[in-house]
Structure 1
Amino acid sequence: MGNGKIRLGIIYGGKSSEHEVSLRTALSVMKAVDANRYEVTPIYVQLDGSWVKGDAIAGQLPERIDALRLSPGNKEITADNDSTGQQLVPSSKPASLFSIGQQVDVIFPVVHGPNGEDGTIQGLLELANLPYVGTGVMASAVGMDKWMMKTVFAQAGLPQVKYVGLLRSQWEKQREESMDKIEQELGYPCFVKPANMGSSVGINKAKNREELAHALDIAAKYDRRLIVEEFVNARELEIGVLGNEEPITSVVGEIIAAKEFYDYEAKYKGAGTELAIPANIPEHVSTQIAEIAKKAFQVLDGSGLSRVDFFWDEQNDKLYINEVNTMPGFTPFSMYPMLFQASGISYSELIDRLVQLGLERHADKQRNIVEAEELE
């Protein structure tokens, strides 16, 4: 922070089906940060997994997402200039996280899905001893794996729908037996999901045995761990969590999907979906959601941010936790920032708070003794 500015590195892109979503998030964050407080360095993870670092950016970025697709060796990605003639989009070169460490003070990873919010990048950041925004390795990994997350929630006594976990190898070797078990324990309809995909990718609703087999075949293309959940006729509610050891929560929002469920098309391409913020629900439901969300966040040892999703069976007044998303969509029009906007925290302030929370969590870790002390 030699010039008084926080040197913020933003990692985006990634070897993931959510690459495009990450680009939109990165552009939104870069445009929103206060240029008087931050010096931003773009760090792009290409689809092939290679890393490219741009020079530190002075001023705001242009509107186009394409400008963020840094490629190694280019002297300039674009000739876009601001009114002062200052270059907006940096030159770029191949990079590794360890070489970047001396050039940034804190990292904001906005890589979604596998190889991003599942603890992999977080593990690299830990090895590089770099402060970063968001949850750590364990919380990220458990939060990404729906099967493991549900196991942890069950241990903590959190209310959730019934489910069956299944390995891809089990499904391939024991198709009939697997479907028999699902039918006996869950019945129809049910939802079939890859355990480790975000943004509703690979999820399908099965209403009979034929659809169940098809849904499991699709899910098995995305992951070796599969999960099947019982269907509950419920409203889909979401809440934001912000903080470290003493988190706060946002207002509750509701997903009103035009389709049968909130899939990838509905989530990122509109498809008639509506967001109700705040949700029109009784106060006791909002209070219960906030309490369970905080507990789930703390059970995972969350830090920074998470969006916690719920099902509310209005007819029977029963609440079920669905999942914790440890790196939710983060454009100004994504649910998580909108929930806090409605709670009185602007998008730019949210970024400021998350950066500070990342620095605080890193400072706390530095208190740990790394060498065994001799016993007296």
Structure 2
Amino acid sequence: MRTTVALLFGGRSTEHGISCVTAGGILSAIDRERYDVVAVGITRDGRYVLASDDPQSWQIREGIAPEVPGDGDEVLLPAGAREPGGRAALRVIRDGRVEHLANIDVVLPLLHGPYGEDGTIQGALDLLDIPYVGSGVLASATCMDKAATKAALRAADIPCASDVVVTEDAWTADAPTIAARVERDLRLPWFVKPARAGSSIGVSRVTDPADLERAMEVAFAEDPKALVEEGVTGREVECGVLQGAPGEGPRTTLPGEVRVSDDLDFYDYESKYFGKGTVEIEVPARLSGAQIAAVRAVAAHAFAALGLEGLARVDTFVTEDGRVIVNEINTMPGFTPFSMFPVLWAEMGMDYTALITELVELARTRRTGLR
């Protein structure tokens, strides 16, 4: 009996379109000889619908990211928890009738940002005892919240940039006092970020304190909780991590480097996905042997310390004096064929299709429930 994998993508976050592009990449490469695939899109208003499994349906065209259409047949999750050793039954509503859709073995949640990468979908799947790719509720929620991530990293003695956490209510009540604290505690430039958003959405680089108010408005448009981070002078280096075999530690890639030219302030959303500015991706990064070892050690330490499962991409800065400072941790990194995470693993000898297979097989061994 072949394994049936349900792809979940789209979702309610501002990263909806990028999630759809990720699904297109997976659909183009997953081993169809080994897996049956059910494509389930989540609309922007949170409906689960049966989606096209044609990779061409999920491409960026003329600078516009794809979107899950709202007129698809609605998919219903199982009515109760999966029986031990059994399969989970998906149903679909067609022409006013509820029909069986598929018995699934594993869910691959290709959701970026809130309502997907933050522990919410993981919790829903845990309630149903359905195995899934990636980290569980606590680790996903922790890594989605940049302030919580930093607290966990610092508790594990893993360096990260200095910051001030600001809520929208606190800013509204006393912006001058908070601004004064930021000026006192953090050196310019500052990076103002929504606490729980990804793909650099809502992020601003501030070089003049007078621009802080506008940057806070941009961040609060995405999340009522934001961080003001002190800029770190260093090379932007990313490392892919996979869960190890039972009893073994995490597996890491050689690091890759992102180089941003002077026509960009930083590696933002448009430059990541829509070709804005000049960006060079170098895999592997030209670092010394000691620097490479340090990046990989920090990435593995972070993966273990935060209780991550399946996969992660650990983004760091490597400073001139050789320090490795963690910037962010992505529990569901960009996963198109050209995204950094698959490219890093291809450099290690694991191609895109093999990487997808590895993640699905890891998920199949996942323990579900608390029995």
Q: Please report the TM-score for the alignment, with normalisation by the length of structure 2.
A: 0.88
Indicate if the aligned counterparts of 2:5 and 2:106 stay in contact, CA closer than 8 A: yes
Letter in 2 for 1:248: R
Within 5 Å, which residues of 2 pair with 1:233-248? 233-244=233-244, 246-248=249-251
Within 5 Å, which residues of 2 pair with 1:1-376? 4-54=1-51, 61=54, 63-65=56-58, 69-72=68-71, 92-98=72-78, 101-102=88-89, 103-244=103-244, 246-258=249-261, 259-271=264-276, 272-314=278-320, 316-362=321-367, 365-366=368-369, 368-369=370-371
**CA deviation profile, 1:109-166 (whole Å, cap 9, x unmatched):** 0011111101111111111110000111111100110000001111111011111111
- Give 5+ residue unaligned stretches, structure 2: 60-65, 80-86, 90-102
Letter in 2 for 1:101: A
Per-residue deviation, 1:96 = 2.6
Letter in 1 for 2:252: T
Q: Distance in 2 between matches of 1:302 and 1:31?
A: 27
Greater displacement, 333-342 / 61-70: 61-70
SS of residue in 2 equivalent to 1:95: strand
Q: Distance in 2 between matches of 1:9 and 1:304?
A: 17
Indicate if the aligned counterparts of 2:312 and 2:331 stay in contact, CA closer than 8 A: yes
Per-residue deviation, 1:62 = 5.0
Q: Distance in 2 between matches of 1:68 and 1:19?
A: 7
Per-residue deviation, 1:54 = 4.8
1:193 to 1:71, Cα distance in 2 relative to 1, 3 A: closer
Q: Distance in 1 between matches of 2:67 and 2:352?
A: 21
Q: Distance in 1 between matches of 2:68 and 2:209?
A: 44
Per-residue deviation, 1:361 = 1.8
SS of residue in 1 equivalent to 2:192: strand
Indicate if the aligned counterparts of 1:134 and 1:305 stay in contact, CA closer than 8 A: yes
Per-residue deviation, 1:279 = 0.2
1:164 to 1:186, Cα distance in 2 relative to 1, 3 A: same
**CA deviation profile, 1:164-207 (whole Å, cap 9, x unmatched):** 11111111111000000001100321111010000000111111
Alpha-carbon RMSD: 1.7
Q: May I ask how many residue pairs the two structures share in their alignment? A: 339
SS of residue in 1 equivalent to 2:131: coil
- Give 5+ residue unaligned stretches, structure 1: 73-91, 370-376
SS of residue in 1 equivalent to 2:88: helix
Q: Distance in 2 between matches of 1:12 and 1:231?
A: 33
Q: Distance in 1 between matches of 2:119 and 2:250?
A: 21
